Chain A
Amino acid sequence: MTRKQLSQYIAFSSFTIISLVVVGILFVILGFIIVRGASVISWEFITGMPEEGMTKGGILPAIVGTGCLILGSMIFAFPVGVLSGIYMNEYLSDNWFRRFIDFMTNNLAGVPSIVFGLFGMALFVNYLGFGDSIIAGSMTLGLLTLPVIIRTTEEALKSVDDSLRTGSLALGATKLQTIRKVVLPVAFPNIITGLILSIGRVSGETAPILFTVAAYFLPNLPHSIYDQVMALPYHLYVLATSGTNMEESRPMAYGTAFVLIVIVLLMNLLANFLRKALGKRVKM
C-alpha cells in the first residue's frame, strides 16, 4: 500500500468509526429510555390519573394535554404554513420581497424556543388576555413550527417537475387550477410528511409551553380551550427535577420519557410509510 492509499484508508476508517459512534449514541439513549420505561408501561399508566404526589397512577392528563396542544397548533399552523409555502414557491419570483420573507422565515426558525415562550406569554397570555390556556400554548407552538411546515411545503413543491406546470398551463388551465389539480396532488405526500414530522416536534417542546399553558398538576381533564393542561414534556421535567419525592417518582419519569419517545418514533415511521405509500400512488 502506498502512502497515499494508507492515509486514505486511515481517514475513511476513522470517519466510519466515528459515524458508528454517533449511531451508537442514539441507540444508547433510545435503548436506555425504552428498556427502563417499558417495564412501567401498563394500561393503568396510560389511562390513569397521577396519584400520591405523582409517584403512582398514570399520566392520562398529560397525554390528553399534549394531544390538545398538537391538535390546536396544527389547526393553526398547517393551513397557514402550506398556503405560505405555496405562495412563496409558485407565485413569488426571486425578488427582494421573496428574499425578505425568506430571511424572516429563517430568523423565525432560528429563534430559541424559550424566546417563543416569552413572546407567547407577553402576547397571548397577557396582552390578549387568554391567560394560561390551551389556546395560548397552541398558538405559541403553532408559530414555532410554522417555518418547518413552510420549508417542507416549499421543498415538496420544488420537487414537482416544471414540465407538469407548463403542460397544464398550455392546456388552458389557470394558474390556480394548475396548482390545485396538478402541482398539489404530486407534492401532497411530501407535504403530509412535513406535517407529521412537525407533530413529533411539537409534542416534545417544553420551553414554549412553560409559561403559556403547562400546569404542574391538574386533577381534571380540560373542558375548554381556555383551560390549562398538563403536557408530557413538562410532566417529565417536573418528575425529573422537582417532584415531591424524586426517587419514588422516577419510574413515572421513565414511563413518561418512554411515551414521548414512542410518539416521536411513531411519527417518523408514519412519515416514512406515508411518503412511500402515497408516493407510489401518485407516480402511477
Chain B
Amino acid sequence: MKRFRRLFEKFIEGILLSSSTITSLTVILIVLFLFREGLGIFNRSPLEHNFIIAVSKQNPVQDLSSDQLKAIFNQDITNWSQVGGKNDSIILFTVNDITNYFTEEELGASLEYLPQKLNEFIVSHPGALMHISDKNLPSDFQGHTIHVKNISVKDFLFGKQWYPTSEPIPSFGIWPMIIGTFLVTLGALLIALPLGLATALFLAEVADIRLRNIVKPLVELLAGIPSVVYGFFGLIVIVPMVQSTFKLDVGETVLAGSLVLGIMALPTIVTIAEDALRTTPRSLKEASLALGATRWQTLRRVTIPYAKSGISAAIILGIGRAIGETMAVLMVTGNASNVPHSFLVPARTLPATIAAELGEAPYGGLHFKALFALGIVLFLFTIMINLTVAYVRNKERK
C-alpha cells in the first residue's frame, strides 16, 4: 500500500512536471514554425514559383537584381547597356503579350503551339526580356534564363518598398514598418511614461489606503479592456480629434496610434512601477524622514533610486506591450506603406501589417512567407525586450 502510494505520488509529480514544460515547448515550437515558414523568403528568387526570366542566347547578361528587374518593368531602364549588356533596347514580353505578335490560329486552339512560338519570338527579337512560366518553355529553348538574385536579409530589413503583390517582381522591404513601429511606440511612451510613473508614485506614496483601493482596481480595469475596443474608440473619437486639431486631410496618423497605445500601455507601467516602489524597505524611508527630509525628498533620493531597476523593467515591458499591439494600431494609423517622417502622417506597424495582409496572402506563397518573416522580426524584438528585463531584474537581485 505504501509502495503504491509512493508510485502514485511519483506519477502525479510526472504529470505536474510535464505540464510545466508546456510553456517552454510552446516557445520552441513558435520559433520553429515561424522560422520554417518565414526563412523561405530568403533563399529563393523573388519571382513567383515556376516563373522565369529569359533572354536571347546572344544576350550576354547573365543575372539581374530584383531592383534592376523592377526598373526594367517600370521602364526606368530601357536599354540593355544600362545593365551591362549590348546597346540594344529592351523589349518587354509576358505571356499576355503573345497575341500582339501571333494570331490565335498560329497558337492553336488550346495554345499547343505556344512553346514553339516563344522560340520563334526569342530568335527574332534579340533584345527581348521574357517573363514566362517554365511550363510553357519548349524543350529546345533558343534563349537562356536569367538568374535573379535572391532576396537578402539586408534588402528585407532595410528595403524602403513594400509591394508584396506587385507583378512580376514584388518588393519586400520592411523599413517603413520598422520606422512606423518605432515612431508609434516612441509617441506612446512619451504619453504613457509621465502619466504612468506619476500615477505609480501617487499610488505608492501619496494616496491613502482608501483612495488607493479605488484607483488601483480602476487602472487594472484599463488593462482588461480589449484592444479592439480601444481601436474602435480611437477610430470614432481620437482620429477625428487629431484630424480637426491639426487640420489634416486624414486623421489616421502615427499620433492617433501613439495616443491609443499610450493609454493601453499605462496599466503595465503603473502596476509594475508601483510594485517596484513598494519594494523599498520601510526602514530606509523612515531613516531618511528621521533625518529631517520631507516625503518628497525621501521619494526622490531614497525610494526612486532604490526602485530604479524595477521602474526600468516597467518601462521596458510597457515598450514591449506597445510594439506588439496589433488591432488598435491597425484601426487608427492608416496603414500607409511609406516611411513616415513625422507624427502627423499615416504609417503602418509590423503587427498591423501581418494582421491586415495574412488573410489575403496565398498559402505558401512569397507574400505569405514574407509575413512570417515579419513575425520573426517581431518575435526577436520581444525576446530582446525580455532578455533586457531579465538582465535588469537580475542586477536588482544582486
Residues of A within 8 A of B (CB): 4-5, 7-8, 11-12, 14-16, 18-19, 21-23, 25-26, 29-30, 32-33, 79-81, 83-84, 86-88, 91-92, 100-101, 103-108, 110-119, 121-123, 126-127, 143, 146-147, 150, 174-176, 197, 200-201, 203-207, 210-211, 233-234, 236-237, 240-241, 253, 257, 260-261, 264-265, 267-268, 272
B226 on the interface (CB 8 Å rule)? yes
Given A106-B390, A115-B34: A101 and B23 within 8 A (CB)?
A: yes
B33 on the interface (CB 8 Å rule)? yes
B184 on the interface (CB 8 Å rule)? no
B24 on the interface (CB 8 Å rule)? yes
- How many Å lie between the Cα of A123 and that of B226 in the bound state? 25
Residues of B within 8 A of A (CB): 5, 8-9, 12-13, 15-17, 19-24, 26-27, 29-30, 33-34, 36-37, 194-196, 198-199, 201-203, 205-207, 215, 217-222, 224-233, 235-237, 263, 266, 270, 294-297, 299, 317, 320, 323-327, 331, 351, 354-355, 358-359, 363, 371-372, 375, 378-379, 382-383, 385-386, 389-390
Given A22-B270, A108-B27, A126-B363: A233 and B219 within 8 A (CB)?
A: no
Write the chain A residue with the least CB distance to B372.
A118
Given A21-B195, A25-B263, A112-B326: A83 and B16 within 8 A (CB)?
A: yes
Write the chain B residue with the least CB distance to A205.
B226
Q: Whole-angstrom distance from the CB of A70 to the nearest CB of chain B? A: 13
A111, B198: Cβ atoms under 8 Å? no
Write the chain B residue with the least CB distance to A272.
B217
B13, B37, B237: the one within 8 Å of A32 (CB): B237
The majority secondary structure among interface residues of chain B is helix
B358, A121: Cβ atoms under 8 Å? yes
Q: Whole-angstrom distance from the CB of B357 to the nearest CB of chain A? A: 11
Given A29-B233, A206-B227, A240-B235: A112 and B378 within 8 A (CB)?
A: yes
Chain B contacts of A112 at CB under 8 A?
323-326, 351, 378-379, 382
In addition to A7-B296, A210-B359, 12 A-B residue pairs with Cβ atoms within 8 Å of each other are: A29-B263, A32-B236, A33-B233, A84-B20, A100-B24, A106-B389, A112-B325, A118-B37, A207-B327, A207-B355, A233-B229, A236-B228
Chain B contacts of A15 at CB under 8 A?
198-199, 201-202, 205-206
Chain A contacts of B226 at CB under 8 A?
203-206, 233, 260, 264
A118, B386: Cβ atoms under 8 Å? no
A104, B231: Cβ atoms under 8 Å? no
Q: Whole-angstrom distance from the CB of B34 to the nearest CB of chain A? A: 7
Chain A contacts of B22 at CB under 8 A?
80, 84, 146
B198, A19: Cβ atoms under 8 Å? yes
- How many Å lie between the Cα of A123 and that of B35 in the bound state? 12
Given A104-B24, A111-B379: A22 and B359 within 8 A (CB)?
A: no
Given A26-B222, A108-B26, A206-B227: A114 and B331 within 8 A (CB)?
A: no
- How many Å lie between the Cα of A84 and that of B351 in the bound state? 30
Q: Whole-angstrom distance from the CB of A255 to the nearest CB of chain B? A: 12
- How many Å lie between the Cα of A18 and that of B263 in the bound state? 13
Chain B contacts of A240 at CB under 8 A?
228, 231-232, 235-236, 331
B379, A115: Cβ atoms under 8 Å? yes
A87, B30: Cβ atoms under 8 Å? no
- How many Å lie between the Cα of A200 and that of B237 in the bound state? 24
A84, B263: Cβ atoms under 8 Å? no
- How many Å lie between the Cα of A208 and that of B217 in the bound state? 27
The listed residue with most A CB atoms (<10 A of its CB), out of B37, B228, B375, is: B228
Write the chain A residue with the least CB distance to B25.
A104
- How many Å lie between the Cα of A25 and that of B309 in the bound state? 28
- How many Å lie between the Cα of A143 and that of B27 in the bound state? 10
- How many Å lie between the Cα of A41 and that of B9 in the bound state? 52
A197, B224: Cβ atoms under 8 Å? yes
A115, B30: Cβ atoms under 8 Å? yes
A4, A23, A122: the one within 8 Å of B33 (CB): A122
The listed residue with most A CB atoms (<10 A of its CB), out of B30, B194, B231, B383, is: B30
- How many Å lie between the Cα of A101 and that of B25 in the bound state? 10
- How many Å lie between the Cα of A175 and that of B36 in the bound state? 43
Chain A contacts of B24 at CB under 8 A?
100-101, 104-105
B9, B222, B375: the one within 8 Å of A174 (CB): B9
Chain A contacts of B202 at CB under 8 A?
12, 15-16, 18-19
Given A111-B382, A201-B224: A19 and B294 within 8 A (CB)?
A: no
- How many Å lie between the Cα of A127 and that of B383 in the bound state? 25
- How many Å lie between the Cα of A206 and that of B379 in the bound state? 18
B297, A4: Cβ atoms under 8 Å? yes
B228, A233: Cβ atoms under 8 Å? yes
Return 16 A-B CB contacts under 8 Å, by A number.
Answer: A22-B196, A91-B17, A103-B390, A106-B390, A110-B386, A115-B351, A118-B375, A122-B36, A123-B29, A146-B26, A176-B9, A204-B228, A205-B227, A207-B227, A207-B326, A207-B327
- How many Å lie between the Cα of A186 and that of B236 in the bound state? 46
A5, B372: Cβ atoms under 8 Å? no
Write the chain A residue with the least CB distance to B12.
A176
A114, B23: Cβ atoms under 8 Å? no
- How many Å lie between the Cα of A203 and that of B225 in the bound state? 10
Given A104-B27, A108-B26, A114-B326: A33 and B229 within 8 A (CB)?
A: yes
A211, B358: Cβ atoms under 8 Å? yes
Chain B contacts of A33 at CB under 8 A?
229, 232-233
Chain A to chain B: the 4 pairs with minimum beta-carbon distance, closest first: A204-B226, A112-B324, A8-B296, A87-B16
A127, B23: Cβ atoms under 8 Å? no
- How many Å lie between the Cα of A79 and that of B12 in the bound state? 13
B30, A119: Cβ atoms under 8 Å? yes
Q: Whole-angstrom distance from the CB of A183 to the nearest CB of chain B? A: 13
